[in-house]
Chain A
């Protein structure tokens, strides 16, 4: 068998977004992977220093569509710390509801793509059909299907009335048995199991070494979820089970996402049951933002999202830095792909739920 190099990307049928992989293979087996990024780098970390604090809520929402709620949320949380704003209880619950709706849609999207890559296209279409209900929920409650514009500094920009609560509950009741059925299919179907069990393994020790986060970490047995470890919004008042598995393979990562999507239904129900009355923003006026610095983090669908903000006496931030979950998870791909078969490359890459828009900012 000979050694050769396969270029994958930056534009490739197996990739939804541009990324370049230089894959050295020996016969059918991967030897080494080099990742080259930067194909859609937009310089948003520079742009946020050219806009004022309030304009950046809109800009950070456009970093990525699947995590579009997490970015403005973490950014707003950091500004609220600097300004000493207390988010009203109703807004905290509404933030958690928006977070979980986005999580269900994001996780189902990734698990659906896995079915497509495995060649099980009827399952792919079924999962996407279930996900479509959450897209309908977003459209009905927020007016948009991806960038939902839920957050503002000091609270949220949306509210839900009994009619919309009823629609949300109806959709949750509808997707709950569907997700349970999908979990059962992914747990038992041979087409899925053959292609995902024992594939793209990241051990517990390797996961700790790489510092991976989110479902990639939890599938390798790391019990870390920002909603529990560093609670924000209403999560300190919710029962949030953290799902972990120990095998660290493609199947485990998919199962964690499915279990979390199922848990999100319960979390939304908990929020609706406890939703307090009251205002949805800390102040109707634009609050003054004093000089200061803050750290904020939240659990985006792909894992821990951390924001650092430094304000001076200017209305524009001096620095806003964020680290998206995919940033750490990319590096772990080198380990997951080692000794993998060429046919499994796309499945393994998809298993970290890679977000190139987030990574390249």
Chain B
């Protein structure tokens, strides 16, 4: 039996001054999944504060960089060029923009709040509101070059401090990843140190 408030959309609209795009589905067992896209990521704290007062639980946070759509053919002379693809709210969809999905649990139902942040942008930390945001935000900061503003404890979680952040945004050769422990490089390293047998 769903407990999603029937006026949730109007409450979210009132909290997000720049606007929202809202939709929800109910599965065959009566479980509601709702999606709310924010036009401006600056509205995140206001929306999260509203959800906190409703007793929701933050389940987790997903961060990724949605691929850019294929480039349209170049406009011929006299034609109007195709518009630059953007997300709801106007952030450019260039393949580098971060999509941040905050999945909230409302007693079994799920509400996902989505914000888009361009490369080099920042997003407010939800950790002061939801303790459960601490680890997911720290993980996001080391996997991407996303800056989480006002995080109370921005320490490394999984990656060693000696490793650069944004591991998900860089190509790391396998031999580097395993410190040459499982490739031809290892043999070459040993031979360089010990030299061939006489």
Residue from B27, B59, B109 in contact with A306 in the complex, judged by beta carbons closer than 8 Å: B59
Question: For the complex, is B101 an interface residue (Cβ under 8 Å from A)?
Answer: yes
Measured CB to CB, the closest approach of chain A to B70, in angstroms, equals 10
Count chain A residues whose beta carbon lies closer than 8 angstroms to a beta carbon of B. Answer: 36
Contacts of A331 in B (CB 8 A): 131-132, 134-135
Please report the C-alpha to C-alpha distance between residue A123 and residue B190 in the assembled complex, in whole angstroms: 50
Interface residues of A in 58-102 (CB under 8 A from B): 81, 86
B57 on the A face (CB < 8 A): yes
Query: Which listed segment binds B: A254-262, A266-274, A321-329, A345-353?
Result: A321-329
Interface size for chain B: under 10, 10 to 19, 20 to 34, or 35 or more residues? Answer: 20 to 34
Query: Is A321 a contact of B60 with CB atoms below 8 Å?
Result: yes
Scan A199-215; emit 1 where CB is below 8 A from any B CB, else 0.
00000000011110000
Please tell me if the beta carbons of B62 and A210 are within 8 angstroms of each other in the complex.
no
Across the interface, do A323 and B60 meet the contact criterion of CB distance under 8 Å?
Answer: yes
CA distance A231 to B135 in the complex (A): 27
The listed residue (B33, B107, B168) touching A295 by CB distance below 8 A is B33
* A41 sits at the interface (CB 8 A): yes
Q: Is B159 a contact partner of A306 (Cβ separation < 8 A)?
A: no
Given known contacts A38-B158, A209-B131, A230 and B108 CB-to-CB distance under 8 angstroms: yes
* CB-contacts of B120-163 with A (<8 A): 130-132, 134-136, 157-160
A321 vs B158: C-alpha distance when bound (angstroms): 16
B152 to chain A, nearest CB (A): 13
Known: A210-B132, A230-B108, A230-B109. A327 touches B158 (CB 8 A): no
Chain B residues, Cβ within 8 Å of A210: 131-132
A236 to B31, CA, bound (A): 11
- Contact across chains for A231 and B132 when beta carbons are under 8 A apart: no
Closest to B25 in A: A81
| From A46, A81, A208, A323, contact of B136 by CB (8 A) | A323
Say if the beta carbon of B67 comes within 8 Å of chain A.
yes
What residue of chain B has the Cβ atom nearest to residue A217's Cβ? Answer: B57
User: How far is it, in angstroms, between the C-alpha of A312 and the C-alpha of B136 when the chains are bound?
Assistant: 24
Q: Which of A37, A81, A211 contacts B157, CB < 8 Å?
A: A37
Q: How far is the CB of B19 from chain A (nearest CB, A)?
A: 21
B105 to chain A, nearest CB (A): 8
Cβ–Cβ < 8 Å partners of A211 in chain B: 57-59, 130-132
A38 touches B159 (CB 8 A): yes
Chain A's nearest CB lies how many Å from the CB of B56? 10
Q: How far is the CA of A208 from the CA of B107 in the complex (A)?
A: 12
Q: How far is the CA of A306 from the CA of B108 in the complex (A)?
A: 11
Given A38-B159, A211-B131, A308-B101: A327 in contact with B60 (beta carbons within 8 A): yes
Within 8 A of B (CB), among A40-61: 41, 46
- Residues of B contacting A208 in the complex (Cβ-Cβ under 8 angstroms): 57
Proximity bits, B48-92, A CB within 8 Å = 1, else 0: 000000000111101010110000000000000000000000000
**Closest partner residue, chain B, to A49 (CB atom):** B64
B184 at the interface (CB under 8 A from A): no
Does the CB pair A41–B158 fall under 8 Å?
yes
Q: Is the CB of A295 within 8 A of B110?
A: yes
Which chain A positions have C-beta within 8 A of B158? 37-38, 41, 360
Which residues 1-52 of A sit at the B interface, judged by CB distance below 8 A? Answer: 37-38, 41, 46
Task: Report B26-56 CB contacts with A as 1/0, cut-off 8 Å.
Answer: 0111110101000000000000000000000
- The A188-247 residues at the B interface (CB cut-off 8 A) are 208-211, 224, 226, 228-232, 236
- B43 → A minimal CB distance (Å): 21
Is residue A310 contacting chain B, with contact meaning CB distance below 8 A?
yes
Q: Inside 8 A of A338's CB, which chain B residues have their CB?
A: none
Give the CA-CA distance A240 to B58 in the complex, in Å. Answer: 25
Residue of B nearest to A208 (CB): B57
> From residue B160, how far is it (CB to closest CB) to chain A in Å?
7
Chain A residues within an 8 Å CB radius of B60:
306, 308, 321, 323, 327
**Set A37, A295, A310: member contacting B64, Cβ < 8 A:** A310
**Interfacial residues, chain B to chain A (CB-CB below 8 A):** 27-31, 33, 35, 57-60, 62, 64, 66-67, 101, 103, 105, 107-110, 112, 130-132, 134-136, 157-160, 168
